Structure 1
Amino acid sequence: MAITTPPREPDSMPVAERHHPPAASEPLSRTVFAALAGAEGVEPTDLDFELYDYLDPEALDALYRHSSSGEDWSVTFAVRDYEVRAESSGRVAVYEIG
C-alpha cells in the first residue's frame, strides 16, 4: 500500500525550518516536532497530535543515528496539512501542502 500526498509547489518556501546539530543529545524526531510546532505557531507542548500518529519516530531517529557521515538521504512524509522533509544533514523543513 502506498501513501501519497498532494504535491506542493516545486519552488515553495518552507513555512518552518530547523537544523538538528550532529552532536545534539535529543533525537531528530524532537527537532521534527519542534519544526511542526513552528509551522503551527505554537510551542511543541501545545500541539494536539503526536508524531507517532504519522510515522515511527524511533525509526527516523535510528536512521539519523546510524547513517555514516558520507551518506545523503532524505525522508518526506505528510503530517496533517504539511509535508515534512528530514535530511541526513540535520535539516528539517516543513511545507504547506496544496
Structure 2
Amino acid sequence: MYRNETHANPSPRQYQGQNSGAYFFRHDFDGPAELTTTLAHALSDVSGVDVTDAGFTLYDYIDPDALDRLFEPDGNGARRVNGALTLTVWDHQVTVYSDGQIAIVPPQQTAQPMR
C-alpha cells in the first residue's frame, strides 16, 4: 500500500472508528522532499491514484507553495508548533500538522442494499 516510502513514511498507527479508517504519515522537514510532495504521495497511497496520473493535482484544493511555507521553520530556524490545517481533497479529509504528521480519512463507503 505504501509505494513510495522515501517521501511518505507511514506511521505504524492506523485506527478504525465508526467504520472508517484514518491513515497517518510523517513528513520529514529535514529531508529532501517538500511537504506537498509527501502529501501527494500519501494521498496516492490511500486513494490508489498514481501521482504521475495527469489528473492528480493539489492545485485544485490548495496552493502547494503556500502549504510548503506554512510550517517551515521561522526566520530563526525554530520549528512551528501547535499548528494544523484541515482540508478536503477528493472527498478525503486531510489534516496536516506542524510537526509533520499527516492524517487522511477516506470518504465513507456506503453499504449498497442487498437485492
Q: Does residue 1:74 correspond to 2:87, yes or no?
A: no
TM-score by length of 2: 0.65
Give the superposition deviation at 1:42: 4.2
Give the superposition deviation at 1:87: 0.5
Instruction: Note if contact 1:82-1:95 (Cα within 8 Å) is conserved in structure 2.
Output: yes
**Quick one: distance in 2 between partners of 1:96 and 1:66?**
30
Q: Does residue 1:83 correspond to 2:90, yes or no?
A: no
Q: Which position in structure 2 is the counterpart of 1:51?
A: 58
| Structure holding more strand per residue | 2
Structure 1 outlier segments of 4+, above 4 Å = 9-12
Q: Give the letter aligned to residue 78 of structure 1.
A: T
Instruction: Note if contact 1:37-1:47 (Cα within 8 Å) is conserved in structure 2.
Output: no
Q: List alignment gaps of at least 5 residues for structure 2.
A: 1-16, 109-115
Instruction: Note if contact 1:77-1:83 (Cα within 8 Å) is conserved in structure 2.
Output: yes
TM-score by length of 1: 0.75
Q: Provide the aligned length of Structure 1 versus Structure 2.
A: 89
Larger radius of gyration: 2
Q: List alignment gaps of at least 5 residues for structure 1.
A: 1-8
CA RMSD after TM alignment = 2.3
> Percent of pairs identical after alignment?
31
SS at match of 1:52: coil
**Quick one: distance in 1 between partners of 2:99 and 2:72?**
12
Higher relative contact order (CA 8 A, sep 6+): 1
